[in-house]
Amino acid sequence: MNTKKMLKQFASVAALTLALAACSSVDRLETIGTPPPLSPVADPRPETYMPQAIPLPPPQPDYHQANSLWQPSARSFFRDPRASHVGDILTVDVSIADAAQISNTTARSRKNSDDAGLTNFFGLEGPLAKALPGVVDTSKLVNMGSDTSNTGAGSVNRAETVNLTLAAVVAQVLANGNLVITGHQQVRVNSELRDLQVSGVVRPEDITSANTIALSQIAEARISYGGRGTVSDVQQPRLGSELFDIFMPF
C-alpha cells in the first residue's frame, strides 16, 4: 500500500515537472531569434502598488496669502522647479556600496552517565537470577551513558556596489506633504534586457534644487535591479535542478 502511494506521488510530481517544463519550453520557442521585448509605456505604478497608510502628524495651517508672492514650500520668489505634485518627475541617484563580514564559531559538548540497581523486586530477583545465571546482576540493572559533541563554524564575506541614475514619477502625495515615488527603467543591449525599479517615500525638503534625491533619503525604499535574456538564461539553474533542490531531503 505504501509503495503504491509513493508511486502515485512520484507520478504526480513527474507530471507537474513535465507540465512546467513544457510551459517554459513553449515560452522559449516563441522568442527564438528575437531579443527580449520591452514593456509598453503605461501607468508607472506596478500592479502590486497600494496607497501608503503611514501614521501622519496633524496637518499644518496654510500661511499662504492670496496677495503674497511668497510660498511656504518655495526656496525663492520664483516657481519651485522641484517635484511636488502627482505626475511630476524627479531624478533618483542609486548609490550602494555595502560590505559585510561575519564569522561565527560554536562548540558544544555533553556527557551523561546513569547507573541504577534493583536488589528487591517483590521477591522475584532470586528466581530471575536462577533463570539467567551469570547474566542478571540486580545491583546493576540499569547502566546507561551518552556522549555528544557539536562543532559548527560559519562565515559571510559580502560586498555589493551599485551606481545608477533613473527618473521616477510622483505617484501619491501624502497628507503631511511627503511624496510616494515610483520609477521603472529598462535597457536592452543586443539580446540582454536590464530592468531597474525603484519606489519609496521622500520628503520634499530633501529634494535638491536640481530636482534630484539620493537613495539614502528615501524611506521604505525598494530597489530591484536584474535582467533577462541569453546571458541571464545561462546563469539561471534549470527547472529540474530547482525542483531537485526543493524535494531532496538531504
Going by pLDDT thresholds of 50, 70 and 90, the confidence category of residue 200 is: very high
pLDDT confidence of residue 128: 67
Q: What would the pLDDT profile of 155-177 be if each residue is shown by its tens digit? A: 888 888 888 899 999 989 999 99
- Rounded CA-CA distance 195/71 in Å is 39
Q: Provide mean pLDDT across the span 114-143.
A: 66
pLDDT of residue 201: 93
pLDDT score for 167 = 93
List CB contacts of 249: < 8 A, sequence separation 6 or more: none
- Supply the pTM of this predicted model: 0.56
Dump pLDDT digits (tens) for 61-115.
Answer: 665 556 666 655 555 556 678 888 888 899 999 988 888 888 889 888 888 887 7
Locate 126 and state its grid cell.
532470586
pLDDT in tens, 216-235: 999 999 988 888 887 777 77
Nearest to 164 by CA among 183, 181, 143: 183
State residue 198's pLDDT score: 92
What gap in Å lies between CA 233 and CA 228, rounded to an integer? 7
